[in-house]
Amino acid sequence: MPKVVDAEERRRTVAEAVFRVICRDGLEQASLRNVAAEAGLAIGSVRHYFDGHTELMVFAMREMSARLITRLTAHAERLLDPSASFAPDEQHEIVVRMLAELLPLDDERRTEAIVWLSFAAAARTRSDLRAHADELYDGLLALTTRILEGARGAGRLRPEADIALEARRLCALLDGLTLEAAFHPGRLDADTMLAVLRTHLAALTLAATR
């Protein structure tokens, strides 16, 4: 009997190949032919699952986003668990760990960072990718805004803090750390990135909750 192929699993396999090609050779080398070779597939097999290069790139962007959302959701569910009881410092650390999912602290997250930065750079001049890149950034802004609103609701955010401004500032901090660590990994290690993030968040909270 012919082997039954799970279409979504095959599409994810191809997305993994996209990530590897981008990390090693750059997004401009992530052609259908090169990605097919990286995945160990015939180019016709890739075309069977994707109508063209744009559809493949968009799927890869969404696959990367879905992985990140899965990890972020695990932290959020812990924070929102009605049966859980956290000391302020413990709750603060959960928020740090949640936001740290966006930083290139290990090989997996460094790959995601390089892929995201490559997509973002390409989206500047490619209208077929721009909407999807904007969607990812808007999701980050919504996440930081929600975290700050939650802190204010719990009485932990400094009263003078402007949530809209601070959400943008936090996004900029995460982007800056990601950019430097992805492109200059020897200059910024995981411990330093976490220390910068903790220090920034601590400056936004009331002293009694640090």
The answer for residues whose C-beta is within 8 angstroms of residue 15's C-beta and 6 or more apart is 59, 60, 63, 64
At 98 the pLDDT is: 93
Find the mean pLDDT for residues 110-116: 92
- The residue-averaged pLDDT of 129-143 equals 91
Query: Looking at residue 5, what is its pLDDT?
Result: 65
Residue 22 pLDDT exceeds 60: yes
Per-residue tokens: 94: 């959960």
| 90 Cβ neighbours under 8 A, 6+ residues apart | none
Q: Which residue has the tokens 């973002």?
A: 120
What's the whole-number mean pLDDT along residues 152-171?
93
Residue 209: pLDDT band with limits 50, 70, 90:
very low
Phi, psi dihedrals of residue 157, rounded to the nearest 5°: -85, 140
Question: What confidence score (pLDDT) does residue 57 get?
Answer: 92
pLDDT digits over 65-99, tens only?
999 989 988 888 887 777 777 777 888 888 999 99
Q: What is the DSSP string of 99-166?
A: HHTTS--SHHHHHHHHHHHHHHHHHTT-HHHHHHHHHHHHHHHHHHHHHHHHHHHTT-B-TT--HHHH
Domains, in order of start, for the chain = 1-50 (1.10.10.60), 54-209 (1.10.357.10)
Quote the pTM value.
0.86
